[in-house]
Structure 1
Amino acid sequence: MTLSQLRPAPGVAIRSLGLVVVAGCLISMLSFGPRSVMGLFLAPMTEAHDWSRETFALAIAIQNLLWGLGQPVAGALADRWGSFRVLAGGALVYAAGLAIMSWAPTPLWLHLSAGIMMGLGMAGASFSIVLAALGRRVPAEKRSIVFGIGTAAGSAGQLLFAPLGQALIIAYGWSQALVMLGAMMLIIPLLATAFAGTEAAPSGPVRQQSLKEAMLEAFGWRSYNLLVAGFFVCGFHVAFITTHLPPYIVDIGLPASVGAWAIALIGLFNIVGALASGVIAQHFPKPMLLSFIYLGRGVAITLFVLLPPSNVTVLLFAATMGLLWLSTVPPTSGLVALMFGPRYMATLMGITFFSHQVGAFLGVWLGGWLYDRTGSYDMFWWIGVALAVFAGIVHWPIRERPAPGVVPA
């Protein structure tokens, strides 16, 4: 892939594509890291304040919902004003949310900081904005691979921040650990300068439409609606496991450190899964790939619940789920780009991601709500299996072709 394959927007200079990809990957890694280890703070923070698990879970549920609500807005702003401003602004709000969370004396402050501020901050600094920015810079035949690389970078953040977060909690306490994680988010605005003034568009299909027309057509396209419905399940699984797996592991009598390593292992194998998914999506029908991924999650959860709990079964489950974790993102992003082109990809992918975050809200909050009332997560694991089957069915009939409004450049 060379710069000659990219068509710059009028008056815009193209910087090194390699620099942009590296900066985007580092942003994905940093922004995905802290939010992926919130489960490590559940037990120490609730015990320190004598809060229920539902109180903490509701804050993370609000975070996921606000992340989803803010994503289409952040995507539209990035489509209109460029990725740099959105990424930098989101990172500052993200850092402030982590800092206030470390101090939060009441559930209201927890919901404001860990919920609203971190959710909106992540909407601006998330890998969705990065993927859309990269999608405008690479040719269509390379997008799924680049999306896989960007997603894998987010997984590297989970792999790095899981043991780092646990180590910071042990060494400095949970409150100071949150402050340190917030300080690390201030690196993102510096990295985002690589995206300043580089909003070039690749050759290929473009949209000869306004944003309003593009959104109306998207919601009138059956395959897009099915994709949005299926991505709900991804958010449900990922958010529930990220938040509730560490305390669940303690509940079944295993050390808390196993929970941290399970989250790290998910991140490690997610790197492999995301990269493999990006490559496979270039040569294999994306809807069929997504169906197999979701059905595979259902099988993994079923075996995890039925087998006797041990360190080995937890780590095997984490490795398997890691392979299937965000491997949904490259084919999902690729389908959005294929259906509607790169012009409004950040906005349309943001709408898709909102469905993901509604699932995340329900997965986190209902998980805590059900645990507080039954003292067990067992029923919720089976709900996850049922939703995996639903997602496997929903993705199968999706058509892998451009929507009628996409015309050649």
Structure 2
Amino acid sequence: MSDTRFSKPLIYMLIGSALILGLSLGIRHAFGLYLVPMSSEFGWGHNVFSLAIAMQNLVWGAVQPITGAFADKYGSKIVVAVGGALYCIGLLLMSVSSTGLLLNLSVGLILGLALSATSFPILLSAVGRAAHPEKRSLAMGIASAAGSFGQFIMLPSTLLLLQNFGWSAALVVSAILVALIVPLAWMLKAPMYVAPNIIGQVTKPSLGFKQILVIAKNHQPFWFLGLGFLVCGFQVVFIGIHLPGYLIDHGFNATTGTIFLALVGLFNIVGTYTAGWLGGKYSKPKLLMGLYGLRGIVIIGFLALPLSTWTIYTFGIIMGLLWLSTVPLTNGIVANMFGVKYLSMLSGIIFFTHQVGSFFGGWLGGVNHDMTGNYNLVWIVSIVLSVVGVLVHFFVNEKAVIHD
């Protein structure tokens, strides 16, 4: 029987990945809190900030396969360290952004590039390569869950900074914190797991970069998986960026929106860990079908019930359980399909579809609000997309196309 325990280098990598994801995604998760104060100070409609966030997601997704290919070739720690430096620069520039052009340069371009190097596709691929195949989904779930704790911590911290020092100072403090990613990147040095040789087993020659891309391009379940991830991106970015503004429109203060997002981050810890654990025992496509279906039901319930503090926080708790639970399952399916040698690149391709959804979720939310004064149309689109998320995973399977 093979030893499936986590090695010490993998444990160090899990700790490093969790801290990096906590900083990277925790700070990004709080961007929605800047929409109202920045828009009010400079007289922008919601569309200006929304477009910058939408551009960030599109840039992030577009360069993710390239960033992933660099990580596969040169190692994750170099890519993550460069991303941490870019993240710091982007936040500092955002802190002095007084025009839509500067906001798109800082929030859209620079932070989009930084996030492609410091978020799930790079970190979870590094963890997935180092973990035993039987424990891969669990290891990814642990890294995702621990990283989610950063979202829970950063939201109330950011709100306190905004209330006491203003949005510009809050961004400078965030830049100082995110600079810690650079030294933390050197914890990402666990070696790739190599299956023990079995006597008499014939070793197949390793496939090259171009061969892998051709196989992925022609594998239909791979693209159906990407379409499902597009649904995820649309929903989480729309809710993450626009729900605080939606609540302000309905008479609630900024604290209510912050607590909502903090609850999402807190219960996301439980959700991602549980998804990773379940993904090691049950069909990942079927679990994803359940997640997307539940999201649609929960959104319908939130909109149908009278809006109150109780319903808002309950929505935050349930959405938190479903929030990024898709990530370890989706990355786990890619690893099962194609192995781990080019996992960063292939996960990056799938992640691009997520970010296309994120672009439209962030941007259309602002457009809908500026044109109508509400978010009704985008809520309806979110519900319809949940149905799409369920249906497309009927055509996804975990069958190995390429073996490790």
1:292 CA drift (Å):
0.4
Q: Contact between 1:70 and 1:120, CA under 8 Å: does it hold in 2?
A: yes
Number of the residue aligned with 1:172:
165
Assess, with a 3 A threshold, how the Cα gap between structure 1 residues 15 and 78 changes in structure 2: closer, same or farther: farther
1:127 CA drift (Å):
2.4
SS of the residue corresponding to residue 201 of structure 1 reads: coil
Number of the residue aligned with 1:336:
334
Number of the residue aligned with 1:352:
350
Number of the residue aligned with 2:73:
80
Distance in 2 (alpha carbons) for counterparts of 1:207 and 1:76: 20
Q: Which AA in structure 2 matches 1:375?
A: G
Number of the residue aligned with 1:37:
30
Distance in 2 (alpha carbons) for counterparts of 1:199 and 1:121: 24
Assess, with a 3 A threshold, how the Cα gap between structure 1 residues 15 and 361 changes in structure 2: closer, same or farther: same
Indicate yes or no: 2:49 matched with 1:51: no
Question: Paired residue for 2:287, among 261, 286, 289?
Answer: 289
Question: Paired residue for 1:375, among 367, 373, 376?
Answer: 373
1:136 CA drift (Å):
0.9
Alignment of 1:3-402 (within 5 A): 16-196=9-189, 198-203=190-195, 208-402=206-400
Q: Which AA in structure 2 matches 1:305?
A: L
Q: Which AA in structure 2 matches 1:61?
A: A
Q: Which AA in structure 1 matches 2:291?
A: I
Q: Contact between 2:295 and 2:386, CA under 8 Å: does it hold in 1?
A: yes
Number of the residue aligned with 1:10:
none
Distance in 2 (alpha carbons) for counterparts of 1:200 and 1:124: 19
Assess, with a 3 A threshold, how the Cα gap between structure 1 residues 45 and 339 changes in structure 2: closer, same or farther: same
1:254 CA drift (Å):
1.3
Distance in 1 (alpha carbons) for counterparts of 2:143 and 2:55: 25
Distance in 2 (alpha carbons) for counterparts of 1:233 and 1:357: 10
Q: Contact between 2:4 and 2:132, CA under 8 Å: does it hold in 1?
A: no
Q: Which structure 1 segments of 5+ residues have no match?
A: 7-13
Q: Contact between 1:152 and 1:271, CA under 8 Å: does it hold in 2?
A: yes
Assess, with a 3 A threshold, how the Cα gap between structure 1 residues 343 and 373 changes in structure 2: closer, same or farther: same
Distance in 1 (alpha carbons) for counterparts of 2:205 and 2:122: 19
Query: Cα deviation per residue 1:254-274 (whole Å; 9 max; x = unaligned)?
Result: 121000000000001110000
SS of the residue corresponding to residue 155 of structure 1 reads: helix
**Poorly superposed stretches of 4+, deviation over 4 Å:** 1-6, 204-207
SS of the residue corresponding to residue 103 of structure 1 reads: coil
1:3 CA drift (Å):
8.3
SS of the residue corresponding to residue 342 of structure 1 reads: coil
Number of the residue aligned with 1:11:
none
Q: Contact between 1:86 and 1:124, CA under 8 Å: does it hold in 2?
A: yes
Query: Cα deviation per residue 1:293-329 (whole Å; 9 max; x = unaligned)?
Result: 0000000100111111110111111111101000001
Bigger mean CA deviation after superposition, 394-403 or 134-143:
394-403
Distance in 2 (alpha carbons) for counterparts of 1:207 and 1:233: 37
Distance in 1 (alpha carbons) for counterparts of 2:295 and 2:384: 10
Query: Cα deviation per residue 1:171-212 (whole Å; 9 max; x = unaligned)?
Result: 11110000110111110111111125x442342899821111
Assess, with a 3 A threshold, how the Cα gap between structure 1 residues 5 and 315 changes in structure 2: closer, same or farther: closer
Q: Which AA in structure 2 matches 1:379?
A: L
SS of the residue corresponding to residue 203 of structure 1 reads: coil
Assess, with a 3 A threshold, how the Cα gap between structure 1 residues 388 and 350 changes in structure 2: closer, same or farther: same
CA RMSD of aligned residues (A): 1.8
Bigger mean CA deviation after superposition, 234-243 or 207-216:
207-216
Q: Contact between 1:5 and 1:203, CA under 8 Å: does it hold in 2?
A: no
1:47 CA drift (Å):
0.6
Q: Contact between 1:30 and 1:185, CA under 8 Å: does it hold in 2?
A: yes
Query: Cα deviation per residue 1:120-140 (whole Å; 9 max; x = unaligned)?
Result: 001011122110011111110
Assess, with a 3 A threshold, how the Cα gap between structure 1 residues 50 and 283 changes in structure 2: closer, same or farther: same
TM-score (norm 1): 0.94
Q: Which AA in structure 2 matches 1:111?
A: N
Distance in 2 (alpha carbons) for counterparts of 1:83 and 1:129: 7
Q: Which AA in structure 1 matches 2:86?
A: V
Q: Which AA in structure 2 matches 1:385?
A: I
Q: Which structure 2 segments of 5+ residues have no match?
A: 197-202
Assess, with a 3 A threshold, how the Cα gap between structure 1 residues 276 and 266 changes in structure 2: closer, same or farther: same
Query: Cα deviation per residue 1:133-167 (whole Å; 9 max; x = unaligned)?
Result: 11111110001101111111231111111101101
Bigger mean CA deviation after superposition, 385-394 or 216-225:
216-225
SS of the residue corresponding to residue 354 of structure 2 reads: helix
TM-score (norm 2): 0.95
Q: Contact between 1:138 and 1:202, CA under 8 Å: does it hold in 2?
A: no
Q: Contact between 2:17 and 2:147, CA under 8 Å: does it hold in 1?
A: no
1:248 CA drift (Å):
0.4
Q: Contact between 1:206 and 1:342, CA under 8 Å: does it hold in 2?
A: no
Between the aligned residues of both structures, percent identity stands at 41
SS of the residue corresponding to residue 73 of structure 1 reads: helix
1:115 CA drift (Å):
0.7
SS of the residue corresponding to residue 253 of structure 1 reads: coil
Distance in 1 (alpha carbons) for counterparts of 2:148 and 2:110: 22
Distance in 1 (alpha carbons) for counterparts of 2:10 and 2:295: 35
Distance in 2 (alpha carbons) for counterparts of 1:230 and 1:127: 17
Q: Contact between 1:201 and 1:342, CA under 8 Å: does it hold in 2?
A: no
